Amino acid sequence: MEHVADVRVIFGDTDAMGIVYYATYLKWFEVGRIELVRRGGMTYRDLIEKGIHLPVVEASIRYHRPARFDDRIRILAEVRKLGGASITFGYRLEDRGGNILAEGTTRHAFTDEAGKVRRAPEGFEKITGTQNQRR
């Protein structure tokens, strides 16, 4: 997994128990995948301008330890699988000590602006570092 970003937990992301609200982890997954694609030389804005959208069609999270207000979170992300019309990203969130807070995946379909499924764009393997993974 590649370290792609760090975030600090804001108070608004915690619940009444002072623990990060469970859905916030999906927001951090998004930060991870956007930065991973950016490191590959393309931005999500570039994809949208080309008429390519990546809606989430499946998400999974396994929580290991709670994160709390003002904690620094390290986001690690990678492409797990690039299919003909979908892509699966994997994520690991760690605290400053390297303890795993959560792990998960999101699977995205490649669609056009109307939501019609389409093939992954040519050259996307280079952007995501998955030259030998397309299936």
Tens of pLDDT, residues 91-125: 999 999 999 999 999 999 999 999 999 998 877 88
Pairwise CA distance, residues 129 & 105, whole Å: 17
Question: Cβ(12)–Cβ(36) under 8 Å?
Answer: no
**Domains, the chain, ordered by start:** 2-128 (3.10.129.10)
Q: How confident is the model at residue 42 (pLDDT cuts 50, 70, 90)?
A: confident
Are the CB atoms for 132 and 79 separated by under 8 Å? no
Q: Six-digit token pair at 69?
A: 């207000």
CB atoms within 10 A of CB 62: 10
Note the pLDDT tens digit of each residue in 4-41: 999 999 999 999 999 999 999 999 999 999 999 999 88
Q: Which residues are catalytic?
A: 15
Specify the amino acid at residue 44: Y
3-class secondary structure, 116 = coil
